Amino acid sequence: MILGVGVDVVDIARFMAALERAPRLREKLFTPVERDLAPSSIAARFAAKEALAKALGAPGNLHWHDATVPRVPGGPPVVEIRGTVAARAAELGVDRLHLSLSHDGGIATAIVVAEGLGDRR
């Protein structure tokens, strides 16, 4: 059963300008494996984290480093979760996350579908 869907769109140039203005923001938002990617890829990962939060109901206590979108050469994009994000997913009964990333024309987009059996409390 689909328990949540999230989508986010990021203007790549505007996002990269924000990272340039506030260099510590890159460390706050991204795990070490994400930080040095190309601008379109890093913007897509930010969109993925925002879309994931929306798919999980956008609680305010999720930590940015508790979700990572690693490179998977030749495979579909994946999101790895732990900590606050994994706890929220478990609370909702989410046991599978589907991620789609795209970037074109200066825009990065991500869609997350949260799937599972529902609330297990």
Q: Is 15 exposed, middle or buried (0-12, 13-18, 19+ CB in 10 A)?
A: buried
> Is 8 part of a structural domain of the chain?
yes
**Quick one: tokens of 99?**
């991620």
How many structural domains comprise the chain? 1
What is the residue range of 35's domain? Answer: 2-116
CATH of the domain at 42: 3.90.470.20
> Is 91 part of a structural domain of the chain?
yes
pLDDT of 120:
57
For residue range 51-86, list pLDDT tens digits in order: 999 999 988 889 999 999 999 889 999 999 999 999
> Is 121 part of a structural domain of the chain?
no
Listed in order, strand segments (DSSP E) in 1-121 are 2-11, 67-68, 80-81, 94-104, 107-116
Residue type, 32: P
Gap between the terminal Cα atoms of the chain: 17
Predicted model pTM: 0.93
> Is 48 part of a structural domain of the chain?
yes
pLDDT of 55:
97
> Is 50 part of a structural domain of the chain?
yes
**Quick one: tokens of 85?**
């994000």
Please identify every stretch of the chain with a pLDDT value under 70, giving residue numbers as ranges: 119-121
pLDDT of 19:
95
